[in-house]
Structure 1
Amino acid sequence: MTMKQDGDAASVPACFISNHEGFLGNIKKFIRDFVVTEIDADGRQVTTGAATHAPRSTDKSGGRRDRNRQGSEEGDFAADCRFDLTVSSPDGLDLSMVLGQGVSEQLEQFVVSLRDEAEEGEESGRKELSLGSFTDKYQRANVHRAVRHRFPFLMTVTIQPEIRVREDPDYRELSQLVTEEEAEDFFRFMDAKVQDSSYTFHPDDNKEHRTAVHHFLNRRFGKLVETKSFNQQERTAISVRLRERGRPKKRSAEERREEDVYTAFTLCKENLETLEAISYMAATLGVLPSDFTYAGIKDKRALTYQSMVVKKVSPQRLMEKRGELEKRGMRLSHIRPAAEPLKLGRLRGNHFDLVVRDLKSHGGGEVHSGAETRRRLAGLVEEALQNVQVRGFVNYYGPQRFGTGQSVRSDLVGLALLKEDMVNAVRLFFSPEDGDDPPSQAKRHFLQTDNAKESLALMPASKARERLMLRALNRYGTGPEGCAKAWLSLPHGMRVFYPHAYCSRVWNEAVAHRLATLGHQVRTGDLVWTQQEAEQTDDCEAARPLNAVAFSQIHVVTQAEERRGAYALAQVLLPMPGNTVRYPENAMGAWYRERLATDGLDNCRFRVGGLKLNLPGCYRPLLANLCNLSYRLQTCEEGAGGNGGGNSKGHFKATTGDAERHESLTLTLNFDLDSSCYATICLREIMKCDL
């Protein structure tokens, strides 16, 4: 085990499993130096259809088992702890993506003017705003749905192909009888039309007032709802329930067919976050981001290939939009009909084609490019790769899990949320980066002025999360209650990302402490996975994700088992903190309790009721492995353009001609990892340096 102290990333401990020297080099110097290709659940790369296999660990008896662990691959947070980044409601769709920035701002101003008139007691009459013309019926439906959910007091009217918006007179009438918040919530309830659902107004002891509310509801919505008054804690309240037959208008057979259409495709994106790409595609196709499903999130600073399925879009229509999407840095291929959505975590792993440039030794002196230097570097590379192939690497969560490049990490935001300190969590969320880019300017303005409205005007349209938060803060204020509602404005998957980042940080520290104090042997009280699997073949099925392992499959190592070496280090699991996990029954159990107490979470139940967050926790193997490794070591001229490395293992090609020229060396790597593993962490173990 090697400990490195200098320049190590704070979120990834400086602890390794192998003792080789390693080497220095640059990764991601160019976007195409880092190519990620998803491996589907059948073990095939999504671009070529070629069969490959995710790495398997080998236990001491020689038995092999898959590790289709739930986790995150280069920013791939989709599967870990049932983590879901899918935008789950129209509220998660930034209207500026649908309407355009200009029209979206006009709509905001229109709403402000309506509210000003209402406060002054003026009648809005038939005041309208045109949202523009939408020739695509899918996009029209999307605009109607998103606008009504964002502003339930508005009604949208189509005069084909134009959509106009005006205040709903029913809302104005109801808001004279109940609070505006109740009126908005009631109209959202009516718009959702969830079968067998009900809505309850605040308690009201004034019988005459209750009667007026009953009359209004029966007059306006009598065919859809039934109302009644009932006692609630010695007070009387009105409950509204949808009638069994009070459902939306029956869809035609054609509409039902359109709703049930699924189209699968392979997305190739470059220098784009997965969610950012989905937002662009949703706006272009006139659907919601939640209509897209995927197996995992891929890194931004890379060229990535992944499978996706979109609902309500036919293959032909998707083909028609390919040219428009390509202008945004997205290429769509393998477009075909699908029978169902894609499930999160439904992948075997990822294949990587990486280029590490400007290789040098850790010596620190001047590096010459002569034959001797190249031979020495070749020896360092071969030793490192052989060690990692045999021993694996420490299965840390990578720095991007915690928000690389940001002044304040995502795990600190998550800690504030777990402590239910909503105001501090918001301020940490808006911590700017060191640069003077527009998002950082908007964040600084908010922190300095507390003016969410002005900060929203400064925030770029592409920053959907920040804009959703600022809208809510502008509406509800920046106090504790307003900040809580701002967090609720984000889809659940986005909210839960931050507490998961904190738990990932604790896991990283736990594995480093485990190796430093208990060593590389399996110890009494360690947790191991004991699921007995059938003998695996090359066509094996994907293994069961570890965070779904039953307690009966988590075994606590006994003293007798430690003495006879019954388990290998590769079988050891460490829990990610949560409210259902079992902790090790040795010194590590006490370490977890002390570590959480240090952050003020000694009594934490890992639930934040106000934000509807529940963290059950999961188990993650201490070690990970790579497989299907091939590599080439070349001069910069020969390696600068290629991401592939052929199939020759350990191929080294020296330059000919002028041996005295100062030429840097380039390493091309090709390998597969499970979906839970970070390629940057694997490289870190190989190179013994921070990347």
Structure 2
Amino acid sequence: MLPSFSYVTDHPGFRGTIKNSPSDFIVTEIEMPERLLSDARAESLQKTSEAPLEQSNPCLQQPKKLRKEPPGPFAKGCHGGAPSPSECDPRRAGGRCSASPNKNQPEAEPGMKPGLEEASRLESLLGKPMSELLNKFACDLKDAWGLENNADAGAREISLGQVLDKKNRADLHSAVRQKFPFLVTATKDNEMIVKGNADYRELGRLVTEKETSDFFKFLDAKLENSTFSFEPDGNKEHRKVVHHFINRKFGKLLETKSFTVTDANDQPNMSIMVRFREKSCSRKRSAGSFQEKQDLYTAFTLQKENLETLEAIGFLAAELGVLPSDFSYTGIKDKKAITYQPMVVKKVTPERLKEIGSKVGKKGMKIHNIHSVCQHLRLGQLKGNHFDIVVRDLKHHSHDSSADLKGRISEAVESVKTKGFVNYYGPQRFGQGQNVQTDQIGLALLNEKMVKAMKLFFTPEDTDDPVNDAKRYFLQTEDAKGALVMLPEFKVREKMLLRALNRYGVNHEGCTKGWLNIPHSMRIFYVHAYCSKIWNEAASYRLKIYGSKVVEGDLVFSEENDENISLNDKVHVVTAPEESANKYSINQVVLPMVGHSIKYPSNKVGQWYRERLSKDELQMCKFRVSPLQLNIPGCYRPILKNVQNLSYFLEGSEKGIEIEDNHLNESKVSLHISFDLDPSCYATVCLREIMKCDF
């Protein structure tokens, strides 16, 4: 695991195996408030918490309109006005004048036919004669669009005259576009001009008239959290053309996603869903507004088994039809374990999350404690992690002649309980057992070697399964489109990258756009892995040359809680008089995680950092990757950490029988150990210190 890395304790330790099964390694996040997880753990997480929806947090705004149809893959609480197959108008653009009602819009009064509400609004704003002229213009334009050789159709326009009142102009713009979504309006010197919408005409050549009309009504309404679905479409190339049209014309406003649906014949098919992109977080609050509009956020506890955190999020995102970046969480959890961690997902209602419970159960996941919240999870909300671990096949080390195995175990546990452990990053940080580890990809990204990083990412493992077969095929052929077909749907990162590579090519520019195509949290994950590797090596070097003595040039961290003090101002460089006076203990010493805004030790350790980064062709200040929008300022990490609330017992091969005899029968005894660790501390590293062996 961590070859030649240091220990802080000197007991002999013992041997054993961990993670024999996921149930031998259980991880539960300790968050604020703790009640969100305590109930689940106490009940062994047998049932999903069914918190009444009417008790949702009052700061959450009600969605504009909840959909009643089976929800699609984006925000599941709102409907975008997609027609059912039976409602679909088979005509393309060029048919008679049509203005289908948009399901996003308020329903018309009882007895009023679709479109009449907009017509009455137009009459009241324009008067009957002008309203009739506009209606004739609209229908004549649609007829002209139907004639392939009519070159002047796009140049036709009509003036509605001058409208001096600003509010009346706004109402008129809206009324025209809602009744005639194939028209666009403009104002010139207070004069209202109406002409055909070229984008409408172009889309109308790709999809049905009703879909085109409803799409532009959805676009004009701009309802927050609303979505729009096109009809099921089994033609992949045609779907690609529709995707490209929307991204080309409305890419700054909208985003699209294909997802699996059931068509009119109860057969699986594909459909395109559209939603509005999120507004910038820096948007200003309106004057006098205490609270800006809230997005829809749903919190839950994710229980997963034998799954990576990002892989689990990929499953959930695919099932819910949202993006992986719509999930917030506070840490990456072990794969070979049963883990419980709080998450928050945007644009998904609690009802929708409950609907997928049975489906995700087949993937090794369960969802608990579902409830509405006001915002996503933030760093600092995690207090740490609780671990329940079973170490099996206990034995002495080969060099240990002692017969007292129970004594060795007790000595080891008590020693680490008192002195702590070296705060290394654990093997899961780097992709334990993989042919290519995450820090290698991170280094390539820092050096802006985009193609190398991409090929490292797609390096397969030595197994034959759909994922590795697809990676192997891609590296051999650079056929991104073919590899896409081979990949399972839940491999979200891989598919995001391959889609960009298929579009832009497997070159520096294409790979750069590929990395930009995945969420920022995933991109920076690899860079942080490299920074973690350097920190591990630095910690070993520091302990090797100076041991547990605090020396001049070391960095120690102040306990000052004043938020006005910068991070660097809280880090103090130990002076020679302070070293002589033994002012600080090794528990206060920190080492920097490399970045562009941190200070380095002024002793041999600082020199080591410079030489180590130079080996990887990195200069001290080169921790910004502008093409990938990555900014790595750096931080500080304590060399040692302590374990809290540690308890343990020994159990024989027959469950429930605790061991009293000091002379244990090797391999027939298991160690059950529980403890809490601070955030970003690794249980495998703590166990390594206890047992004095690598995993």
TM-score by length of 1: 0.64
Residues 479 and 169 from structure 1, CA distance in 2 versus in 1: closer, same or farther, beyond 3 angstroms? Answer: closer
Larger radius of gyration: 2
Answering whether residue 488 of structure 2 is matched by residue 460 of structure 1, we say: yes
Which structure would you say has the larger RCO, counting Cα contacts within 8 Å and 6 or more residues apart? 1
Give 3-state SS (helix, strand or coil) of 1:478's partner: coil
Counterpart pick for 2:595 among 558, 561, 578: 578
Q: 1:71: which partner in 2?
A: none
The C-alpha deviation readout for 1:338-371, integer Å capped at 9, x for no partner, is: 2333223411001100000000111269x9xxxx
Paired with 1:311 and 1:31, the residues of 2 have a C-alpha distance of 29
Shift of 1:44: 5.6
Shift of 1:128: 4.4
How much is the aligned-residue C-alpha RMSD, in angstroms? 4.0
Q: 1:304: which partner in 2?
A: 339
Report 1:122-201 matches (<5 A): 126-128=205-207, 157=230, 184=247, 187-191=250-254
Q: 1:273: which partner in 2?
A: 308
Report 1:208-223 matches (<5 A): none
Residues 321 and 485 from structure 1, CA distance in 2 versus in 1: closer, same or farther, beyond 3 angstroms? Answer: closer
Residues 286 and 607 from structure 1, CA distance in 2 versus in 1: closer, same or farther, beyond 3 angstroms? Answer: closer
Q: How many residues align?
A: 493
Q: Letter of the aligned partner of 1:687 in structure 2? A: M
Paired with 1:98 and 1:337, the residues of 2 have a C-alpha distance of 17
Paired with 2:492 and 2:566, the residues of 1 have a C-alpha distance of 35
Shift of 1:125: 7.6
Counterpart pick for 1:602 among 619, 634, 639: 619
Paired with 2:479 and 2:317, the residues of 1 have a C-alpha distance of 30
Counterpart pick for 1:336 among 371, 388, 395: 371
Counterpart pick for 1:590 among 597, 600, 607: 607
Paired with 2:492 and 2:385, the residues of 1 have a C-alpha distance of 28
The C-alpha deviation readout for 1:439-487, integer Å capped at 9, x for no partner, is: 2222222222222222222223222212221222222111222221221
Residues 268 and 470 from structure 1, CA distance in 2 versus in 1: closer, same or farther, beyond 3 angstroms? Answer: same
Q: Letter of the aligned partner of 2:252 in structure 1? A: F
Give 3-state SS (helix, strand or coil) of 1:528's partner: strand
Q: 2:131: which partner in 1?
A: none
Answering whether residue 513 of structure 2 is matched by residue 480 of structure 1, we say: no
Q: Letter of the aligned partner of 2:11 in structure 1? A: H
Q: 1:294: which partner in 2?
A: 329
Paired with 2:628 and 2:344, the residues of 1 have a C-alpha distance of 29
Answering whether residue 78 of structure 2 is matched by residue 15 of structure 1, we say: no
Q: 2:169: which partner in 1?
A: none
Report 1:495-506 matches (<5 A): 495-506=523-534
Paired with 1:410 and 1:493, the residues of 2 have a C-alpha distance of 14
Shift of 1:686: 0.7
Counterpart pick for 2:583 among 561, 566, 575: 566
Counterpart pick for 2:297 among 262, 268, 274: 262
Paired with 1:18 and 1:186, the residues of 2 have a C-alpha distance of 63
Give 3-state SS (helix, strand or coil) of 1:48's partner: helix
Residues 456 and 619 from structure 1, CA distance in 2 versus in 1: closer, same or farther, beyond 3 angstroms? Answer: same
Cα contact 1:418–1:604 (8 A) shared by 2:
no
The C-alpha deviation readout for 1:293-348, integer Å capped at 9, x for no partner, is: 32323222211112223334444444444334333332222333323332234110
Paired with 1:22 and 1:329, the residues of 2 have a C-alpha distance of 34
Cα contact 1:296–1:345 (8 A) shared by 2:
no
Gaps of 5+ in 2: 43-71, 76-201, 212-217, 256-278, 280-291
Paired with 1:613 and 1:332, the residues of 2 have a C-alpha distance of 32
Give 3-state SS (helix, strand or coil) of 1:511's partner: helix
Q: 1:401: which partner in 2?
A: 429
Paired with 1:308 and 1:291, the residues of 2 have a C-alpha distance of 10
Residues 435 and 325 from structure 1, CA distance in 2 versus in 1: closer, same or farther, beyond 3 angstroms? Answer: closer
Residues 498 and 317 from structure 1, CA distance in 2 versus in 1: closer, same or farther, beyond 3 angstroms? Answer: closer
Paired with 1:167 and 1:361, the residues of 2 have a C-alpha distance of 62
Residues 417 and 596 from structure 1, CA distance in 2 versus in 1: closer, same or farther, beyond 3 angstroms? Answer: same
Residues 328 and 434 from structure 1, CA distance in 2 versus in 1: closer, same or farther, beyond 3 angstroms? Answer: closer
TM-score by length of 2: 0.64
Gaps of 5+ in 1: 1-7, 52-95, 100-122, 133-139, 150-154, 173-182, 193-241, 243-255, 535-543, 641-650
Q: 1:24: which partner in 2?
A: 15
Q: 1:625: which partner in 2?
A: 642
Give 3-state SS (helix, strand or coil) of 1:596's partner: helix
Answering whether residue 533 of structure 2 is matched by residue 526 of structure 1, we say: no
Paired with 2:486 and 2:395, the residues of 1 have a C-alpha distance of 44
Paired with 1:626 and 1:487, the residues of 2 have a C-alpha distance of 38
Answering whether residue 384 of structure 2 is matched by residue 384 of structure 1, we say: no
Q: 2:675: which partner in 1?
A: 671
- Calculate percent identity across the aligned residue pairs: 49
Answering whether residue 462 of structure 2 is matched by residue 438 of structure 1, we say: no
Q: Letter of the aligned partner of 1:398 in structure 2? A: G
Q: 1:653: which partner in 2?
A: 660
Residues 563 and 129 from structure 1, CA distance in 2 versus in 1: closer, same or farther, beyond 3 angstroms? Answer: farther
The C-alpha deviation readout for 1:253-274, integer Å capped at 9, x for no partner, is: xxx99x7443332222222222
Residues 631 and 603 from structure 1, CA distance in 2 versus in 1: closer, same or farther, beyond 3 angstroms? Answer: closer
